[in-house]
Structure 1
């Protein structure tokens, strides 16, 4: 789908109201949604999912999607935007968010965006890079190379990008190579020249937890997902789209479960451990994004008491904005 970015940004910036928009971000499995629900209950906020996988219909259990009743109660946006077999990107997400906010900000105290997608956060708060579109032939060739070979190529043709992007992610390296080869211009230069702010968050919080607690939470959540029927959900996807479609699913876990169901490649415990390893690795990549966002207020929640104080502080500060006071100092 072709997208006129300039047109979209102009439409997006012309929101009908000036109600505040807040952000609560963090890595996967640390309890963002539960905290967001508590804040929304107190202040009457609507919620926007800032999640790259919850946009897909039928990927429910494995993406920790809010329940149907929760989606209704908190007037969620950003969920179930496309079929699970369709492609989706940040441009389309911006379109969907624009439509959601134009409707929702007319009858709410504000919107709290909650999730862990650093790209979507950056797209909403800093704009999008209007670099050349994907070169599918070149991308297919690059995908045959391992990360080290890709990184060596990027350092050779675009050292600026190699020193700036997340080089632990092969997809980021491929995109940087693609842009440089297609246009002769560094991806970093494209970003500097073509990005423009879309919205300015009133407040943006980044929560984190100690590493041992994150691992425990993830293992418990994965076990709960299996108890809730993650295998059955994946089996339904297999019946609908076949193993080829499930193999292409980007949401962590579905591909592994699909292989498990069809080929019994691992036992159940090994399967859960592999999913946990992938989730932990994804969490590290999420933190890499957030560390580069100066607008985020970082808070490490070491225990229940600190979590309670954080929620109380958020409620006070957000309410301060809702009441119309935009000063830089906040009551604690």
Structure 2
């Protein structure tokens, strides 16, 4: 892959109301009213890290990670963290700032990311937020919802209230508890999203009202513009001049990339498996907190626990079952990302299968020249394209390239025997 899908009418309307006057468009970014910030997102495996690095090099930029796992020390391979050389070439923020036993939230990210953005701008550099955590980026762009903070006593009490349900895997019962407490929308949460469920109960215990009772700094149905009574489009006032891009590519192509990436994370036993083993060794369990809920880490921890219960042994069949589950969960996550960002109107969708150089140059030109912000047809991916791939996806079958047969996983099973027989 060299490297997704706006409705043209929507984007023409958006830029008509957001672009500065012709005189202001000719001025450098520093002369406009607001500071410009670039946001690059996309599904897992689309190539957003590589693109953000290249754009940062060309624009004297610094990267603000919008990845909910890269914040953790020691979780490098499973989070596809930028390498040491990449981080040496371009300054990065919000990477390796927490121990894996700690939790991280969208609210804390908002505070940290906005602070990092202001520091980057103070050095006259270009902030480039890059990552695929949709809620983090939504709050980063539009602001943090006006939801009350919980006291330490309430946070501790809620944690204890839900701990038994979590430890015994009783998700539905925990949802019933929160729904009965005052938030029926808890039933709409994705299964085992314990952090969101816990936060909902904290808000109820703190205020007596569910999260939906508090105002949001954006309209969840249409984040960029609102229609007023006279039919004119009213611009949502944002703190920065955001240029937002979403990398997408044909889903089958993306899925094959994800499948290979999962294999590569497991091929080196010093990678994801080693990191998951470390999480278990420090006393964490799958799904216990943000780090152990992360895709890849949760599945690897569950697999290694099974190996430990078997005295440090695993059959090839068990390994391949784990690999298949890891790949399936990763592909499903990318699908959810595409669905989330399809509804985020501020993003232009760029076809990640187009030449890398053309994409990087377009973003740099868009930063320097407001009149050049509309993605050209040659680079655009229509959002509708991703909805019309169901026929190909129904027949999709994962084809491993590194782990084709039992012999290919022997080194992994040997490593498990040596390290997991505890």
* Structure 2 CA distance for aligned equivalents of residues 138 and 68 of structure 1: 41
The worse-fitting range, judged by mean Cα deviation, of 243-252 and 95-104 is: 243-252
Match of 1:215 in 2: 255
Match of 1:260 in 2: 303
Would the aligned equivalents of 1:166 and 1:288 in 2 still touch at CA under 8 Å?
no
Q: Give the length in aligned residue pairs.
A: 305
Match of 2:214 in 1: 190
| TM-score for the superposition, normalised by structure 1 | 0.76
Would the aligned equivalents of 2:144 and 2:217 in 1 still touch at CA under 8 Å?
no
* Structure 2 CA distance for aligned equivalents of residues 100 and 65 of structure 1: 18
* Structure 2 CA distance for aligned equivalents of residues 295 and 193 of structure 1: 14
Q: Is 1:236 paired with 2:287? A: no
Match of 2:141 in 1: 125
Deviations 1:103-158 (A, max 9, x none): 32233441111100111111211222233435335544775654599489859966
Would the aligned equivalents of 1:150 and 1:170 in 2 still touch at CA under 8 Å?
no
Please tell me the root mean square deviation across aligned C-alpha atoms, in Å: 3.6
In 2 relative to 1, CA 176–197 (structure 1 residues): closer, same or farther, beyond 3 Å?
farther
* Structure 1 CA distance for aligned equivalents of residues 264 and 129 of structure 2: 25
In 2 relative to 1, CA 227–18 (structure 1 residues): closer, same or farther, beyond 3 Å?
farther
* Structure 2 CA distance for aligned equivalents of residues 151 and 245 of structure 1: 22
Match of 2:101 in 1: 85
Q: Is 1:297 paired with 2:348? A: yes
**2:362 paired residue among 310, 313, 318:** 313
* Structure 1 CA distance for aligned equivalents of residues 177 and 340 of structure 2: 22
Question: Helix, strand or coil for the counterpart of 1:238?
Answer: helix
Residue pairs, 1:100-139, within 5 angstroms: 100-132=116-148, 133=150, 135-139=158-162
Question: Helix, strand or coil for the counterpart of 1:244?
Answer: coil
Match of 2:54 in 1: 38
| TM-score for the superposition, normalised by structure 2 | 0.62
Deviations 1:84-113 (A, max 9, x none): 111222232233224423332233441111
Would the aligned equivalents of 1:150 and 1:173 in 2 still touch at CA under 8 Å?
yes
In 2 relative to 1, CA 236–155 (structure 1 residues): closer, same or farther, beyond 3 Å?
closer
* Structure 2 CA distance for aligned equivalents of residues 274 and 331 of structure 1: 37
**2:243 paired residue among 191, 203, 211:** 203
Would the aligned equivalents of 2:165 and 2:174 in 1 still touch at CA under 8 Å?
no
Deviation of residue 60 (structure 1)? 0.5
In 2 relative to 1, CA 319–198 (structure 1 residues): closer, same or farther, beyond 3 Å?
closer
Match of 1:54 in 2: 70
Would the aligned equivalents of 1:247 and 1:255 in 2 still touch at CA under 8 Å?
no
* Structure 2 CA distance for aligned equivalents of residues 290 and 173 of structure 1: 22
Deviation of residue 247 (structure 1)? 5.6
* Structure 2 CA distance for aligned equivalents of residues 246 and 170 of structure 1: 8
Could you list the runs of 5+ residues in structure 1 that have no partner in the other structure?
1-16, 321-325
